[in-house]
Amino acid sequence: MSVRITSHLKLLEAESIHIFREVAAEFQRPVMLYSIGKDSSVMLRLAQKAFYPGPIPFPLLHIDTSFKFGEMIRFRDWYPASIGARLIVHRNEEALAQRANPFRLGTQKCCALLKTKALLDALAAGPYDAAFGGARREEEKSRAKERVYSFRDGFGQWDPKNQRPELWNLYNSRLEKGESIRVFPLSNWTELDVWQYIHLEEIPVVPLYFAAEREVVVRGDMLISVEHNPPLLPGEKPRMVMCRMRSLGCTHCTGAIRSEADTIPKIIEELMLFRRSERENRVIDHDQEGSMEIKKREGYF
Amino acid sequence: MAGTLAQLSPIEQFLKENEAKECLRFTTAGSVDDGKSTLIGRLLYDSKGVYEDQLASVKKSPVNRSGREIDLSLLTDGLRAEREQGITIDVAYRYFSTPRRKFIIADTPGHEQYTRNMATGASTADLAVVLVDARSGVLPQSRRHIYIASLLGIPSVTVAVNKMDLVGFSQEVFDGIRLELIEFFARLRSDNVQFIPLSALDGDNVVTRSRRMPWYQGPSLLEHLETVPGGPSKPFEQMRFPVQYVIRPHLDFRGYAGQVASGTIRPGDHVMALPSGRTSVVKSVVTYDGDLEEAVAPLSVTVCLEDEIDVSRGDMLVHPSALPHMSRHFEAMLVWMNGQPLELNRSYLLKHTTQQVPATVTAIVHKVDINSLGHAPAGRLQLNEIARVSVETQRPLFFDPYEENRATGSFILIDPLTNLTLGAGMIRERVGDAGHQRIRQALMGIQFKTERPTPAERAARLGHHAAAVWLTARPEVAKLVERRLFDLHCMAHLLSDDVDSDVLPEVASIVVSSGLIAICSIASGMREELERARELIGYDRLVVIEPESLPVDDQQAAEAVCDILASRGLLDAGPLGFGREA
């Protein structure tokens, strides 16, 4: 009798690789959304594995709001190139020229312009018919029902009541012109799986994930970075705090957490102790009850 | 000793253990108000699979239908619409893990019209948890859920009898439900069935065993989920490698990328590419992490061959000694998933493994009445209905019966106009196709077979299926049944006084595995033997005769027994051994 592979990480890896290959085989112009975070790093490694020893047969796309951490941008400009991947960077230049920023517009409007609109424009410009994203079902409640192939209409919008049933590993890739799908190869991964995989595979991630003394303002439970000079509230003063990022986004909208975890095992240990979801420090998710679902319907990733 | 582990820090030790952790995928089904969301909430909560901020948000929620401090069902009710309606309307996936296993839950709605969602959740599950409300007992929907689990080939089914707190933790209530369902399971193919009495609201027997039901000696739900075998009891061992993608970075490398669907592939293996029938030898099994000595299902790898034979996406690599079925015609169970009913002889797209072919459904053999499990007249096939159908494809498919191999026995039907997924199919049987048989015979002639004969091959040779008849207290009738079957050209063997009843189940199982029909003539009341025989031979192959149902006259009684065997389709195997109705 043959030995049955049962390790859950091996299963997840095999499933994700299968998804990458299906999409590469069945779509005309796939693209991988590259957010620079840990999930993107894992996706990139899985894509390398899927097409080894060939190159990754699609480009990476980064939607740059211009409010990302400097460390993220440095990592972005180094890592994909170092493994031979092709990176496209897209910004909503028009909105930026009109000085769109979260401080003036508020986070919702800022996100709509610099992320959602920029993303839809970039996908249409491709034109890309399939876009890989790093979303995981366990991340957030509205994602628990997301398909691996998530169908979007001609306007890039998602209808939770009208999704195609998805059985076994048989994905329906049929589209009309102008329609597209988002593909989530990490659907079944948890945050712990991602970190464990990064650890096992020694995958590079942005140093912001590791604890260090960083200059922040303390606002309630949140630690907000002072990069990009956010307006301070009366009495607020930047100070050095030992902290790290649990998820990466724009400086103003991504809070840091107090942490001493400066290695991956320590990060995993911290995860085991703090049962808090990683999106908690995202300002955007808390705007309104069910806010992520609303954004997704509009086309946000 | 545990020296190496002991030197590691606790977190490193945890990582080592976690790395090797297994994964169990299960699906949950229940009727509305069976407390399914609460049960999942309870599993997540008690196994610490809930984040504190998510819990805080549930605690703050203005809705609380539980009568307890927190409404655990809110942890899993995802979308706004359903939170307002209080009904889950789509498959939701949840994740939690214990030190022993990682779990992926496909939480499927039990609402009447959502058969399609249940089928979706069941398609990738190793186990199904079916909830039954202790107060209302076994409902038509409970049977429906169990039937779908069995249809989708889920290896294990666990019946969670919930709300035991509302029936005073009564053993009688639990036993009543259990007995009623055991009979039902006997008609299906589920071999690993567990019944657990619990209260999701209070947590009895969910994670820890309850003190309030001392009469129940079995495991808690979580204990069961942690220890039940993950895959099918007899995994399909024949190698199938559907080619997904050809990797050709430069002239010196040509690799066939895919996920091993079943069996094992090794360098040096003789393989045949289908449909071309060309053979070659595996040069290497390539991965990013280095070449492999062997790749087992479900690993994703890249296979390089010694010879330059033409292979592309949609082709399949197999061992020439263990070929799949190849045909443009086959029968399948089809779950219809769209508001537009099935149209016979209309052109659909069929996706099977890595190929997509135009296909038509040529006939509805019969519909399944999902409440009685009887066959309903074949008319139209509509949303959430299930039927056995005949399918014809434009090009041949390479497949195995679904019950043996989920990966090569499943397909979806797509509407080429709307692009929607219309149905999900499970291949049951191939229908005669002279052209196909010629190809098959030609291919089979190439290599000397090395595998032992399969039950299907034995059945094809003998013209009937292997089975055992369990007949109590009528030794004369047993003898006549043997004679009658023999006259019907069936190979039957009587096991009576010559076999000690202690070992009768074992002996009968050997007779059955050789392809014959064993007639077990035994005194009444041998319950333990009967249970063992069921386990060894399987519910579907063991035909238990109720002696009181037989005519008094011995000859007539023997006729009646043969009629029962015939009505189960056991006496006619068809030319390739797959003639039996499931």
Q: What per-residue confidence (pLDDT) applies to A231?
A: 85
Q: Where in chain B is the domain with CATH 2.40.30.10?
A: 240-318, 325-441
Flag whether residue B304 sits within 8 Å of chain A, measured between CB atoms: no
The answer to whether residues B282 and B304 touch, using CB atoms and an 8 Å cutoff, is: yes
Among the partner residues A17, A175, A188, nearest to B300 by beta-carbon distance: A17
| Closest Cα in chain A, distance from residue B143 (Å) | 22
Q: How confident is the model at residue B446 (pLDDT cuts 50, 70, 90)?
A: very low
The sign of the torsion formed by the CA atoms of B515, B521, B526, B527 equals positive
Query: Would you say residue A242 has pLDDT above 90?
Result: yes
Query: Would you say residue B264 has pLDDT above 90?
Result: yes
Of the options 3.10.110.10, 3.40.50.1220, 3.30.70.380, 3.40.50.300, the CATH number for the domain spanning B458-567: 3.40.50.300
The angle, 0 to 180 degrees and rounded to 10, between the axes of the packed helices A8-26 and A38-51 is: 70
The answer to whether residues A207 and A220 touch, using CB atoms and an 8 Å cutoff, is: no
Q: How far apart are CA A272 and CA B19, in angstroms?
A: 15
User: Which residues fall within 8 angstroms of residue B248, CB to CB, at 6 or more apart?
Assistant: A54, B254, B255
Among the partner residues A11, A52, A290, nearest to B23 by beta-carbon distance: A11
User: Which residues fall within 8 angstroms of residue A138, CB to CB, at 6 or more apart?
Assistant: A144, A189, A190, A191, B93, B94, B95
- Which CATH homologous superfamily contains domain B325-441? Translation factors (2.40.30.10)
Q: How far is CA B530 from the centre of its chain?
A: 24
Flag whether residue A8 sits within 8 Å of chain B, measured between CB atoms: yes
Are A2 and B294 in contact (CB < 8 Å)? yes
Of residues A10, A13, A76, A75, the one with CA closest to residue A48? A13
Q: How far apart are CA B449 and CA B320, in angstroms?
A: 9
Chain A / chain B CB contacts < 8 angstroms: 194
Q: What is the helix (H) or strand (E) element at residue B554, kind and residue range?
A: helix B554-567
Tokens encoding B409: 């026995």
Q: Which of A104-118, A225-239, B568-582 has the lowest mean pLDDT?
A: B568-582
The answer to whether residues B368 and B387 touch, using CB atoms and an 8 Å cutoff, is: yes
Q: How confident is the model at residue B450 (pLDDT cuts 50, 70, 90)?
A: low
Q: How confident is the model at residue B221 (pLDDT cuts 50, 70, 90)?
A: very high
- Domains of chain A in start order, with CATH, are 8-194+290-298 (3.40.50.620), 202-286 (no CATH)
| Closest Cα in chain B, distance from residue A232 (Å) | 26
Q: How far apart are CA A96 and CA A100, in angstroms?
A: 5
Flag whether residue B56 sits within 8 Å of chain A, measured between CB atoms: no
Give the mutation candidate from B8, B14, B15, B228 for the A interface (greatest A CB count, under 10 A). Answer: B15
Residue numbers of B between 359 and 418 with CB closer than 8 Å to A: 406-407, 410-412, 414, 416
Nearest residue on chain A to B259, judged by CA atoms?
A18
Residue numbers of B between 95 and 114 with CB closer than 8 Å to A: 95, 97, 101-102, 104, 107
B415-432, pLDDT tens digit by residue?
999 999 999 999 996 544
Are A174 and B419 in contact (CB < 8 Å)? yes
Are B287 and A49 in contact (CB < 8 Å)? yes
Are B11 and A268 in contact (CB < 8 Å)? yes
| Closest Cα in chain A, distance from residue B44 (Å) | 12
User: Which residues fall within 8 angstroms of residue B250, CB to CB, at 6 or more apart?
Assistant: none
The answer to whether residues B536 and B513 touch, using CB atoms and an 8 Å cutoff, is: no
Q: What per-residue confidence (pLDDT) applies to B440?
A: 52
Query: Would you say residue B435 has pLDDT above 80?
Result: no
Q: How confident is the model at residue B349 (pLDDT cuts 50, 70, 90)?
A: very high
Q: Which of A8-22, A159-173, A278-292, B33-47 has the lowest mean pLDDT?
A: A278-292
Per-residue pLDDT, averaged over B525-551, amounts to 85
| Strands B156-162, B192-197: pairing kind | parallel
Give the mutation candidate from A12, A51, A168 for the B interface (greatest B CB count, under 10 A). Answer: A168
Q: What per-residue confidence (pLDDT) applies to B536?
A: 86
Q: Where in chain B is the domain with CATH 3.40.50.300?
A: 3-227, 458-567
Contact residues on chain A for B14, CB-CB shorter than 8 A: 268-269, 272
Are A190 and B294 in contact (CB < 8 Å)? no
Q: What is the helix (H) or strand (E) element at residue B272, kind and residue range?
A: strand B270-274
Q: What per-residue confidence (pLDDT) applies to B460?
A: 73
Give the mutation candidate from A174, A197, A278 for the B interface (greatest B CB count, under 10 A). Answer: A174
Flag whether residue A3 sits within 8 Å of chain B, measured between CB atoms: yes
User: Which residues fall within 8 angstroms of residue B567, CB to CB, at 6 or more apart?
Assistant: none
For every residue of A197-261, DSSP letters joined together read HHHHHT----GGGS-EEEEEEEETTEEEE-TT-PPPPTT---EEEEEEESS--BTTTB-EEE---
Q: Do you know the residue count of chain B? A: 582
Query: Would you say residue A285 has pLDDT above 80?
Result: no
For every residue of B56-113, DSSP letters joined together read HHHHH-S---SSSSS-GGGGT--SHHHHHHT---S-EEEEEE-SSEEEEEEE---SGG
Q: How far apart are CA B5 and CA B18, in angstroms?
A: 13
* Cα–Cα separations (whole angstroms), residue B275 to B272, B291, B315: 9, 27, 6
Per the model's pLDDT, the better-predicted residue between B504 and B411 turns out to be B411
| Closest Cα in chain B, distance from residue A46 (Å) | 9
ipTM reported for the complex, 2 dp:
0.89
Q: What per-residue confidence (pLDDT) applies to B341?
A: 95
Q: How confident is the model at residue A282 (pLDDT cuts 50, 70, 90)?
A: low
Q: How far apart are CA B579 and CA B562, in angstroms?
A: 18
Of residues A28, A29, A75, A21, the one with CA closest to residue A50? A21
What is the identity of the amino acid at B211? Answer: R
| Closest Cα in chain A, distance from residue B252 (Å) | 11
Q: How confident is the model at residue B463 (pLDDT cuts 50, 70, 90)?
A: confident
Query: Would you say residue B401 has pLDDT above 60?
Result: yes
Contact residues on chain A for B417, CB-CB shorter than 8 A: none
Report the top-level CATH class of B3-227. Answer: alpha beta
Q: How confident is the model at residue B302 (pLDDT cuts 50, 70, 90)?
A: very high
Q: How confident is the model at residue A239 (pLDDT cuts 50, 70, 90)?
A: very high
Query: Would you say residue A283 has pLDDT above 80?
Result: no
Per the model's pLDDT, the better-predicted residue between B336 and B570 turns out to be B336
The answer to whether residues B539 and B188 touch, using CB atoms and an 8 Å cutoff, is: yes
Q: How far apart are CA B486 and CA B483, in angstroms?
A: 5
Nearest residue on chain B to A175, judged by CA atoms?
B419
Among the partner residues A11, A138, A168, nearest to B123 by beta-carbon distance: A168
Flag whether residue B78 sits within 8 Å of chain A, measured between CB atoms: yes
Q: What per-residue confidence (pLDDT) applies to B579?
A: 39
Per-residue pLDDT, averaged over B495-506, amounts to 84
Q: What per-residue confidence (pLDDT) applies to B454?
A: 74
Of residues B511, B514, B486, B484, the one with CA closest to residue B496? B511
Q: How far apart are CA A22 and CA A36, in angstroms?
A: 24
B36-61, pLDDT tens digit by residue?
888 888 888 877 667 666 677 777 77
Per-residue pLDDT, averaged over A284-290, amounts to 46
Of residues A167, A74, A146, A139, the one with CA closest to residue A282? A139
Per the model's pLDDT, the better-predicted residue between A241 and B440 turns out to be A241
Q: What per-residue confidence (pLDDT) applies to B257?
A: 98
Q: How confident is the model at residue A2 (pLDDT cuts 50, 70, 90)?
A: very low
For B308-335, b/e burial (b = at least 16 CB within 10 A) is eeebebbbbbbbbbbbbbbbbbbbbbbb
- Among residues of chain A, what percentage have pLDDT more than 90? 54
Q: Does domain B240-318 have CATH number 2.40.30.10?
A: yes
Per-residue pLDDT, averaged over B433-448, amounts to 47
- Locus of tokens 């590993």: A169
Backbone angles phi, psi at A68, to 5 degrees: -80, 165
